[in-house]
Amino acid sequence: MEVHHHPHVERKRFKEYLLEFLLIFLAVTLGFFAESLREHIGDQSKEREYIKALKKDLISDTVSIRTWIQAFNSRINEYDTLINMLKHPENIVDGADMYYRSRITTRGTVFEDNNNTIIQLNTSGNFRLISDKTTAKEIVTYQNDIENYKNVNGYDAFEARALYAPQAGLFDAFVFNDMSKPITDSIVSSNNSLLGGFRNVFSKPKGNPGLVSKDKEKINQFVYYLHQRRSTFAAEILILFKQKQDAAELIGILNKAYHLKNE
């Protein structure tokens, strides 16, 4: 009878199994750390790009805010001049100037922050990439400045509309209509800023037009709304001034935390 012998298989010792396990564990762990390091380096690179873009936005804002503060002060002076004219309606000698100043009282534009980077950080969920806590805190402060201006500007827009009715009771609408300029390519392509954009579509009327009514109550109502909007201009100046200060402070923080002084 033929007998079959099974081949002898040498069994691994426990230490060999342990060594294989450790090698596999080490390989997996190193792979995990390598992937984590790759993501960390990628996140740092994204963070720096966001910070550099944010600094650029803030520099642009500080320049724009300076211009807008000057423009609001200019508008306050214009309102004061018109109010002084209406204080003694019987002594108005330059009706054309009065009509022009009155016509532009209802006009205005909205200051637009250059906040594209902040919007991207929030909408993409990448605000988490901002590793420096002081920077993150100051960005939130700057966002609050933006929202505060928008809230006050809402009053500005409401008060501009509120001027329509009392203005219509004092000024000749036909004169206003004649003051309108044709819309040309040069006007459309010009910088639509508070300093000049809305003024480009109006010109002073000819002659010396007067008020259609010198009723004291009507004049008082119109001046009241002028005063309210003038006060809102002052509030917008204060908010924009704080925003400019916060922007400058945030730029300094970015330069220090991310070594961007020369970038």
pLDDT for position 243: 95
Record the pTM: 0.78
Most confident stretch, 36-50, 103-117, 139-153: 139-153
pLDDT for position 239: 95
pLDDT for position 198: 65
pLDDT for position 148: 93
The predicted-structure confidence for 182-210, as pLDDT tens digits, reads as follows 766 555 555 544 555 567 788 999 999 99
Instruction: Report residue 224's pLDDT band, with 50, 70 and 90 as the boundaries.
Output: very high
Tell me the domain boundaries of the chain.
14-258
Percent of the chain with pLDDT over 70: 77
Residue listed under structure tokens 């020369």: 262
Structural contact between residues 39 and 211, judged by C-beta atoms closer than 8 angstroms: no
Tell me the C-alpha distance between 110 and 73, whole Å: 15
- What DSSP designation does 78 have? H
pLDDT value at 150 more than 80: yes
CA distances to 37, 92, 129, 137 from 51, in Å: 21, 56, 10, 14
Q: What does the block give as tokens for 118?
A: 């902040």
Residues 6+ apart with CB under 8 A from 249: 138
Q: What does the block give as tokens for 48?
A: 């720096």
Amino acid at the residue 242: K
pLDDT for position 208: 94
Q: How many other C-beta atoms are found inside a 10 Å radius of the C-beta of residue 76?
A: 16
The predicted-structure confidence for 73-121, as pLDDT tens digits, reads as follows 999 999 999 999 999 999 999 999 999 999 999 987 778 888 889 998 8
pLDDT for position 149: 92
Residue listed under structure tokens 């204080």: 87
Instruction: Report residue 137's pLDDT band, with 50, 70 and 90 as the boundaries.
Output: very high
pLDDT for position 39: 59
Residues making up the chain, counted from first to last: 263
Tell me the C-alpha distance between 237 and 98, whole Å: 25
pLDDT for position 172: 97
Residues 6+ apart with CB under 8 A from 98: 82, 85, 86, 92
